[in-house]
Structure 1
Amino acid sequence: MKVSVLLVCLIWFKVNFSVPVEDLDIFAEEVVQNEVEKGNFSNMPDNIRRIPRGICMNTYECRIEGGKSYGFCALGFGVCCVFRATCKQEVINNLTYFVNPDFPDLTRGMSSCSLKVKKIESEVSQIRFDFIHFNLGQPNRKTGICEEDVFKITGENTTKDLIICGMNSGQHVYVDVENIDELNVEMTLSKKAVSRIWEIIITQVSFSEGSPPGCLQYFTGRYGTVQTMNFADNGRHLANQDYNICIRQEENMCSITYEPCHENAFRISPNSEDTTINTNLLAEGSGDGESDDLRESFRAIEMCNDRIILPCDTEELIMPGMFNLAPGSCNLIHCGLSLCPSGNDPCKIESSATPFNIGVHFGNSAKPVSPEDNLGMCLNYEQIPCE
C-alpha cells in the first residue's frame, strides 16, 4: 500500500509541464485561502493580494529548490510551491514570478536589473512572459523611443530583441527558444525619481501548447481585448514595434469583429515626413470615388508608415489606392485618428479572413508628433458563429 501511494505521488509531481497561463490554474483551486502564508503580502494593494500560482511538489523538493509552499495539493501529499526571482538571479523551473526587489512595494533608485531564464527541457519551444504588473518610466513622449527606462529580452540566436517600457500591465508575449538554451532579461533604469513595480509570470511552454509561428501575442476565447504596448491615458505607443497579435479561431466560429474600446482607442499618426498630409482625412471620405478629399485620403493612407494591418476577406481587393474608402474596398491598412471612416458609428470592422491576426508595425519616429495623436490601439474583438 505504501509503495502504491509513493508511485502515485512521484507521477503526480512529474506532471507539471507548463501550458499557456489562461489555461493554467496549476492546482490553484486546491489552495485554500486560510492556508496561504500572509506575512509577505500584508501590505499588498487589494488588486495584487491573491493566491499565487505554483507547482505541486513535495515539501522537501520545494524547499531545496528555493520555493515557498502556499497550501496543500494532491490530496494533501504535496504543497503548492511558488517560485519568485528578482534581479541578478536565475529562473530554473517552469513557472516563476519575476518581481522588483521591493515587491509588493514600489522600487526607487535602481539603475539596472538583469535575470537569466534557463530552458529546463528540450521540449520547451517558447517562454511566455505575463506582465501582471508592469510600470516603468515612459518613452520619449514625442518619438515613442524607450530612452530612459528600457526592458529588453534577448537570446543568443533570437532574430529580434523585444524592447518595451511604460505601462504594460495585463500584456503578454511569447519568445521562441527552440534553438537556444537561455534568455536574458536586461533592464536599464534612469536616475530620475521614478517609482517602478513589476510582477511577471515566466512560463516555459511546450510546442503543442504555444503560440503559432510568428505570433508575439496569442489570445484565446470568443471575446477579448487587444492593445498595443503602453496603451494608457497618459501613454504613447512605442516606436520600433513590428509583430503580430494572433487570436485563436474558436470552434464553429467563421468571422471576427473589431471595435475600438472607446472613442480615443485608435490614435496612430502616419509617422511620415510629408508635412502636407491631413491626418483628419485618414478617417474621412465621401465614397463617391471622385472628390479631391477622397483622392487626398487615398494618398494619406498610402503614407501610413506607422500602421495596423487587419487582413482582408478577399485578396482581389488588396490593391494600391483601395485601402479604406472606396465602396466595396477592403480595410487593410489603418492609421490616423479613427479606425473607421467618419460617420461610421458605432465603428465596427468584420473579417472572415483566417487566421485572425492583427499586424502592428511602428517604425522609428520620422519627426516629433503630439503624444495625444499616438495613444495607440485598443480593440475589443468578438468571434461570430458560422451560419
Structure 2
Amino acid sequence: LFQFITISPDICTTTANTQGICYSAADCTNLQGTASGTCAAGFGVCCTFTRNCESSTNVNGTLFQNPEYPSATTTAPGSCKLTVVPVNENICQIRLDLMEFTLAQPDENGVCADDFLQVTGGTTTIPAICGQNNLQHMYVEVSPGSGSVSINVDTFTAGAKWNISVTQIECSSPYRAPAGCLQYFTNTHGTIKSFNYDATTFTSPTTPPPATTPTTQLASQVYGVCIKSQSGYCSVAYTKTSATPNDYTFSLSDDPGPLPVGAIGSIGSTDCTTDYLMIPMGIITNVPAYPATSADRYCGINFPSKVETSIQPFALYVVTDDTETNYADPALNDGPNVGFSIDYRMKAC
C-alpha cells in the first residue's frame, strides 16, 4: 500500500533560522527553490527562493539579496528593487527579516541620505532605514486583494550587503502581527533595539567625532513595537540591556551630562519632546528616588533599572524628530542620540 501525504504550504524555520515555506522536496525543486531543513514531521522540506535586483516574486519564503551576496557590493548598484506579488487574495501582511543588512551610515543629522531601504505599496508608512540592522525585522500592512509591494534598496557607494527574508502572511494566520506594529515579538522575553543601534562603535559621547562617524540614531522614526500576549502572563518588565550606568545603551536626546549611578534620564511629556520611547502607563520600580513613579515617555542618557506595565496589548512606541546628533549639543538639547537596546520579560499573573 502506498500512502499519499498532503503537505500544507505553511511557514517553517530553515536551518539558517529564517522563515521558509513547507513543500515536498519535488515541489520545492519544481518551483526552483532551495531546501533548507525539514518540516511536516520530516515529510517536507523548508523551501526558500532567492531573488536580487529588478526581480519579482509571487512565492512565499523569498530571500532578497544583493547581487554579489554573500559578498558585499563592489560597485554602487543604485536602485535595487524586489516586487512582491501577493500569493493569493488573503494576504494581510508581509514580514521582512533582515538576516544581514549593512548600508552606509546616515548623515550627521541621522538622515539616510546616501543608502536606504524603502518599502512602498503597503497601507501604512514604513520609515526609511540605513546603517547596521542585522537581525532586525519589520511588518508591512497590505490590503487583501490589492497590488504589489516594492522593496527598494538604494545605494550610493560600494560595500552594501543585504539578505532579506520575505514572508507573506495570511489574514487568519497566527503569525499575523496586531495592527500598528512595525515590529512584533512573540517570545516571553527578548531584546528590542532601535534601528541602526550598535553601541560598540560609539566612542565619543561629548564631542563631534573628528574622523570616524559612530552609529547614529535614525531621524524621523515613528513606529510601534508589540509583544504578543501569552496565557498566564499579565505584565511586561523592561530593563536596559547593559547594567552599566552611562554606557549609552539607552541614549535618546535631552540631558547630555553624566548621571549618578542608579539615576534615570528624563521622563514625562514636559522633558521628553524630541526623541523618546513611550511605554503606556509605565511604572518605574527599583529606583529609590522615584518610588512607583508612573510615566509614559522616557529619554535622556539612562533608563530606569526597571519599568513595568500591565496595559494590554503590550506595546511601546519609538519617536524621533528630524534632527539627530551622536554627540551632546547643549544648544539643541538634542544629543547624544545613539538609540537604545532594552530587554523585555513577561511576568506571570
- TM range, smaller chain: 0.7 to 0.9
Where structure 2 has 5 or more consecutive residues not aligned to the other structure, the ranges are: 202-214, 284-288, 329-334
Q: Which of residues 217, 222, 246 is equivalent to 1:237?
A: 217
1:188-203 equivalences under 5 Å are 188-191=154-157, 194-203=158-167
Q: Whose radius of gyration is greater, 1 or 2?
A: 1
Identity %: 30
CA RMSD of aligned residues (A): 3.2
Aligned residues: 317
Q: Deviations over 1:257-294 (max 9, x none)?
A: 11111232100114xxxxxxx5449999999xxxxxx9
Q: Distance in 2 between matches of 1:222 and 1:241?
A: 26
1:43-58 equivalences under 5 Å are 50=16, 54-58=20-24
Indicate the residue corresponding to 1:119 in structure 2. 86
Amino acid at match of 1:127: I
Shift of 1:351: 1.8
CA contact (8 A) 1:282 1:300 kept: no
Q: 1:331 to 1:16 in 2, by over 3 A?
A: same
1:1-387 equivalences under 5 Å are 1=1, 4-5=3-4, 8=5, 11-12=6-7, 15-18=8-11, 24-25=12-13, 50=16, 54-58=20-24, 61-69=27-35, 80-110=46-76, 111-140=78-107, 142-155=108-121, 158-179=123-144, 180-191=146-157, 194-208=158-172, 209=174, 210-232=176-198, 233-234=200-201, 235-262=215-242, 263=244, 264-270=248-254, 278-280=255-257, 301-312=270-281, 328-340=292-304, 347-365=305-323, 368=325, 370=327, 373-386=336-349
CA contact (8 A) 1:52 1:82 kept: no
CA contact (8 A) 2:92 2:171 kept: yes
Larger strand percent: 2
Shift of 1:53: 5.5
Q: Deviations over 1:112-163 (max 9, x none)?
A: 21110111111211000011111111111x21100010110000x5331331
Shift of 1:177: 1.0
Q: 1:218 to 1:283 in 2, by over 3 A?
A: farther
Shift of 1:54: 4.1
Where structure 1 has 5 or more consecutive residues not aligned to the other structure, the ranges are: 19-23, 29-49, 271-277, 288-293, 315-324, 341-346
TM-score normalized by the length of structure 2? 0.80
CA contact (8 A) 1:223 1:380 kept: yes
Shift of 1:182: 1.1
Q: Distance in 1 between matches of 2:224 and 2:177?
A: 11
Q: Distance in 2 between matches of 1:146 and 1:131?
A: 17
Q: Distance in 1 between matches of 2:282 and 2:17?
A: 44
TM-score normalized by the length of structure 1? 0.73
Shift of 1:326: 6.5
Amino acid at match of 1:309: M
Shift of 1:377: 0.9
Amino acid at match of 1:160: T
Q: 1:329 to 1:90 in 2, by over 3 A?
A: same
Amino acid at match of 2:308: E
Amino acid at match of 1:126: Q
